[in-house]
Structure 1
């Protein structure tokens, strides 16, 4: 029996439903095993690059007796997948820029799943920005508590501009998430306030922290229903 999923992976699992699904960087295969057992997917592909995690995944699938429904492949990112082989893919537990690189390399090989569920360990802005230019719309966003606060996002292929961003301050929406800003949960408010507190003493005019602080203030203003301060007026 595998260990229960933590809150982070439970949140990822809640956003996945597909006949066939690939999980990239699965390690002990806890997520794909749970997806099959709970009926969220019919079959799955597990991709691992390094020998240790690859063997962990193979052993976990064999011990679970699910080798007929979960295939473990060795490879880098989406490389082991053929175009249109699986309509749904998840990437968890990596940096957003690492995930973005995997998705860009996959797209260059025409591996563009219909749905993507991603859980970066840091700021998800690079993934939101990538999706805006890659033909994906943001369909769901969640925050999961754990060692830190984890963003979990579901993208789906779609035509035209993403309506999720309509009427929102652009930088703040890409940084904190348009759907999360509209929801305005206590967890998001804590995150924005933490950024304001952290960045305020660092935000001398012209420094990168000043732009980050302006983004945090714009998010806070949206959440509180007021006009954000003009960064040019802060000394």
Structure 2
């Protein structure tokens, strides 16, 4: 059994390199299976809270032939883990608020490396990382139903250098590494934001600040990328 992953999960897979990795909200456990088959971890734990997805994960794990390396646990976020048990974690296909809530509740169970794929703007994840001792070491933007961001965070000392030399508000919203890369997908994503926000913007409205951030990001791209 070698599950096929879509583009966003392939990007997540490529950013994982660990000894023991946990995938939280694993659903069918396809990502942990691929992590093990690709040699990107020696052991994986799949965590699921709800009975239906938990049954999917257990079934996939049983069929994978990886019983010695893949364990499925039921629980909420990092609750089923022991402190120091894993050195890397992933969360995919969740809202940013859900991901940040899980990270905030993890306490001393948080590993040194995180690979996260939220389904909406990852700005609050980047803000959490900056205030929690994690550096944004890699980013991807993948096509799908919408543009999916994928972030790798590593616990490192000092201030994160990723934000140096890029407009800060735009970097929090769209990603400092992604701005430097300036891909056509990012340009399209920013352009769609501008079109969506323009009729909503008015003094004092949040949409006006969001529009200004999108315009700042596009102006920076126009002046700093090919």
TM superposition score normalised by structure 2: 0.97
Whole-Å separation in 1 of the counterparts to 2:64 and 2:71:
13
Q: Which deviations, in whole Å up to 9, do the C-alpha atoms of 1:188-232 show, x marking residues without a partner?
A: 000011111111111111111000000001101110118xxxxxx
The equivalent residue for 1:138 is 136
Unaligned runs of 5+ in 1: 227-235
| Offset of residue 2 of structure 1 | 4.7
Whole-Å separation in 1 of the counterparts to 2:54 and 2:199:
45
Secondary structure at the residue paired with 1:13? helix
| Offset of residue 3 of structure 1 | 3.7
Secondary structure at the residue paired with 2:16? coil
The equivalent residue for 1:87 is 87
How do 1:189-228 residues align onto structure 2 when only pairs under 5 Å count?
A: 189-225=187-223
TM superposition score normalised by structure 1: 0.93
1:128 maps to which of 107, 126, 147: 126
Secondary structure at the residue paired with 1:92? strand
The equivalent residue for 1:18 is 18
Whole-Å separation in 1 of the counterparts to 2:27 and 2:215:
38
The equivalent residue for 1:231 is none
Kindly indicate whether residue 47 of structure 2 is the aligned counterpart of residue 57 of structure 1: no
Whole-Å separation in 1 of the counterparts to 2:164 and 2:2:
42
Unaligned runs of 5+ in 2: none
Whole-Å separation in 1 of the counterparts to 2:165 and 2:6:
35
Between the two proteins, the alignment pairs up a number of residues equal to 224
**Runs of 4+ in structure 1 over 3 Å off:** none
Secondary structure at the residue paired with 2:115? strand
What is the RMSD computed on CA atoms of the aligned residues? 1.0
| Offset of residue 112 of structure 1 | 2.0
The equivalent residue for 1:159 is 157
